[in-house]
Amino acid sequence: MDIAALKRDLEGLKIDDHPAIVQQKSRDFYWYSPVLKQQLDHVTGDLIVTPKNEDEVIRILAACHRHGVPVTPRGSGTGNYGQAMPLSGGVVLNLAEMNEVKAIAPGRVVTGPGAVLADIDRAARAHSAQELRMSPSTYNTASIGGFVAGGS
């Protein structure tokens, strides 16, 4: 992988390659399991890219495809099973800043993947006296994209 060339193609986007930040954003709570801790403790991405909108996601994915760089999407990292860890390095696509609550209608809400469950619930209650019908232990920190993609 030519990470330097990828970074040039992604110039102007929010990129972080600081080793401690990359390691932190490459992990969830996989270490709850002694088996997963042993299997995944070495796993890390090469850089974190944080898009603000769909156009930036498309630009990132196209550049990664051109350079043969794997992409691992990430919510807020509250999973317990390593399901959003970059097993082959590459880019960790941090969706946290795509957190807009876009629309609320009877029985539904449209948000960005980085919207946190508690924020969605507050917006729904304020807008139309609706509420989320789930209240996981990660309610205050889990993003909707990661929560749904994680199999909940």
**pLDDT (tens digit per residue) in 37-89:** 999 999 999 999 999 999 999 999 999 999 999 999 988 877 777 888 999 99
Tens digit of pLDDT for each residue in 7-34?
A: 999 999 999 999 999 999 999 888 888 9
Domain that residue 53 falls in: 3-94
Q: Are residues 12 and 77 in the same domain?
A: yes
Whole-angstrom CA distances from 42 to 22, 48, 71, 119 are 12, 17, 17, 33
Q: Are residues 69 and 108 in the same domain?
A: no
Tell me, what CATH number does 18's domain have?
A: 3.30.43.10
Burial class (CB in 10 A: 0-12, 13-18, 19+), 133: exposed
Task: Please identify, among 75, 94, 113, the residue that sits at the C-terminal boundary of a domain.
Answer: 94
As for how many domains the chain has, the answer is: 2
**Residue type at position 125:** R
pTM of the model: 0.88
Q: Are residues 86 and 121 in the same domain?
A: no
Q: Are residues 90 and 130 in the same domain?
A: no
